[in-house]
Structure 1
């Protein structure tokens, strides 16, 4: 019996020594609190909610309450009353905005309405446009002079034909 109690005492001492080194019984040290810096948004990269609807239509969701019903595929199943959510229209780009929208493009803002956009033309393009305008004015002037000449010639032809018909008729005696 003495050896029995000595064995138990030895086992208890070994278990106590091993448990004192076990990670389960060690006090956990809490790490120092980490300071988190809130990420501030970069200027000009986020779209405000007022302009979001001008660029993109959100999806339309509808909720339909459904009362208790028997499953059409399995008459042994009954569904309890619940709500069914259905996406009516998906999200889509707004291709016909009613007002010009300011779209943030990083730090630069641009107008998305091309009709309102005024660009300064380079000098070379302006010179070519001025040359085309002069050419068009010369063509219009030539067209007017040719039209006047044609109307004059038509009136001379009708006079000539009238004089021919009066001279070619034999006179009755």
Structure 2
């Protein structure tokens, strides 16, 4: 029994003063995760059933939960993913999402504008191509007409030459006929 009293006396903690509340400023770093600079206290919860108070046998404690600090808070010495010297890319996930959405919207608008300009240029080129095809067709028709007219002129010229030579060969022709003109028109290859 003396040993039980000695053991119980050894477990007795010294009385502490009233806890002092110290208001803390808002932390500038997140309190959780790998980026934290401080690892918070670790607590464990134990469910305790009914028991009789060892100091006073006339007091019974009902079942409750006992919380025990397993590990006190400490500095987080694990290196963060980003360097301390460089600022982080974004403070929050929402800001990242907003920035990405804005960048995507800007890129889509730029591509839409570029596509619209390309479509307008394609329409202008198509109109110009139609115009050039029409002019080419008209030129080919005019060229064919000029070949046809040249052939007709050549036939008429040959016919005139033959008529003039026939007139010169007629007996009793008193009037001199001027010499035939030379036909210098050369037919183009077809």
Which structure: larger Rg? 2
Q: What TM-score comes out, normalization by structure 2 length?
A: 0.29
Q: What TM-score comes out, normalization by structure 1 length?
A: 0.31
Structure with a larger share of its residues in strand: 1
RCO comparison, higher one (Cα < 8 Å, 6+): 1
